[in-house]
Homo-oligomer: A and B are copies of this chain.
Amino acid sequence: MDQEIIETGIQALGEAKIPSPMLKEEHGGIHHLFVSDEDRVMINIKQAAIRAMMANGISPPAFELAGPRRKVYFDASKLRCAIVTCGGLCPGLNDIIRAIVLELHYRYGVKIIYGVRHGLEGFIPEFNHDFLDLTPTRVTTIMNMGGSILGSSRGAQDIERVADCLEVNNIGILFMVGGDGTLMAASKIADAIAQRGLKISVVGIPKTIDNDIHLISRSFGFDTAVDVARLAIQSAHNEAIAYPNGIGLIKLMGRHSGFIAATAALAQQDANFVLIPEVDFDLDGPKGLMAAIENRVTSRGHAVVVVAEGAGQKFFEHVDERRDPSGNIRLNDIGPFLKEAIKAHFAEKAIPLNIKYIDPSYMIRSLPANANDSVFCGFLGRDAVHAGMAGKTKLVIGHWNNHFVHLPMVATAGRRKQVRPSGKLWTTVLESTGQPSLKNDPA
């Protein structure tokens, strides 16, 4: 996958000296799988690359394994923890909250766990969002509910005031579940805390339904999203084939990456065109999308088009010259834009058209996690607890080549994973759809 060598050192608040409370359970019959910081898995697992590095005396980079440590940093009996979920909803948030609470409570004996309401707003007194007391009873049945019992919010808050709140409430570990912006904020919060000389661990769990976090092969909620996106493609296909010159147009999530669009198109192979941010395409001209759709519809009678929300953003730069939409929000919405463009094209060519536009985004992101995501979220939550209890900080829990690992926050922040145009996923989508390049020859 990723060829580069990253700095994989994980920061810690100090030496973990306290025997883990989990050790006591050994006598009770649960033999936990303790992990040491020396347990590491290779990042690059291509044989040739490993050999080349070894030959040149370079130690191949590896991620630290996540999991419980034999020694912990915090005294659980005095520890207070806090959990916050930020940004857009994503299937699995409640599974993660549940796993963190149950693991802290039952494995380590932590009794005080605060649920921060409505994202970062929950730290700022003016918003009047009281903390929720999170107990096993409160969370035990939440795994089959969509959304987040803590709520969420978008946007930044003052870092120092967040730190104030943590300090005042005597928080020892802060678990932050959120996307790129949240993890950047988490990193700054950790810095602000350090500057105050406080010992607070900040552990992140990366959230992006788009599955596009750098160095993380899978993010939670993605699998559920593809399940539902598949239904939307089925619907669009049923509509498209039912009507003469029928077109089904589905917009799926993916601001900067086309993983959902590409994967859903492979799950339900009814799509004839898949448009993603990573692969440029032209609208007009002999090889452009409009001509290709027209060709497909006139020869085959129908077409199904899947577009990731971040695709084709270049068309909005000079949008005034094309048409005159009314507002800013709509301006950048590729779904309605494409719908109107297709209608205009067919109208100009005087070809009858039956186009149906489907945007299932909000129905996808607010669903409960499917079984696979529930299991996955359970591991993420538990490993976040182990990392925090060990005193590690400024890290996120990742998943790489089938292992749960620790990544420094700075390694994932500000960069995104994308669908590689020459990779197995995208070339298989091209095979499945049979779509051409959609790019005109240079003049």
Contact = CB atoms under 8 A, between A and B. Distances in A.
Nearest to A151: B242
A313 interface: no
A324 interface: yes
Interface string A252-284: 000000000001101111000000000000000
Nearest to A107: B431
Nearest to A343: B329
Given A28-B436, A147-B242, A423 B375 contact: no
A309 to B, nearest CB: 15
Interface string A334-363: 000000000000000000001011111011
A121 B244 contact: yes
A437 interface: yes
A107 B427 CA distance: 12
Contacts of A231: 363
Nearest to A267: B371
A41 interface: yes
Nearest to A264: B371
Contact of A363 (B269, B360, B379): B360
Interface string A94-124: 0000000001001100000000001001000
B241 A147 contact: yes
A236 B146 CA distance: 11
Contacts of A378: 266, 269, 428, 432
Given A236-B362, A238-B366, A360-B363, A118 B243 contact: yes
Among A248, A269, A326: residue with most chain B CB under 10 A: A269
A56 to B, nearest CB: 12
Interface string A360-373: 10110011001110
A148 to B, nearest CB: 6
Interface stretch (A9-17, A45-53, A205-213, A406-414): A45-53
A415 interface: no
B244 A33 contact: no
B217 A402 contact: yes
From DSSP, what is the main secondary structure of chain A's interface residues? mixed
Nearest to A46: B41
A29 B436 contact: yes
Given A230-B371, A324-B326, A372-B227, A431 B30 contact: yes
A50 B229 CA distance: 40
A332 interface: no
A40 interface: yes
Interface of A: 28-33, 38-42, 45-48, 50-51, 54, 59-60, 62, 67, 89, 103, 106-107, 118, 121, 127, 129, 143-148, 151-154, 217, 223, 226-227, 229-232, 234-236, 238-239, 241-244, 248, 263-264, 266-269, 324-326, 354, 356-360, 362-363, 366-367, 370-372, 374-375, 378-379, 382, 401-404, 421-424, 427-428, 430-432, 434, 436-437
14 contacts: A39-B48, A42-B42, A42-B47, A118-B244, A127-B244, A147-B238, A147-B242, A151-B241, A151-B242, A234-B366, A266-B374, A266-B378, A356-B362, A370-B370
State the 6 A-B residue pairs at the shortest beta-carbon distance, nearest first. A147-B238, A29-B437, A267-B371, A238-B366, A40-B47, A47-B62
Given A30-B431, A33-B427, A382-B428, 7 more contacts: A31-B422, A33-B424, A121-B244, A147-B239, A153-B243, A378-B428, A401-B402
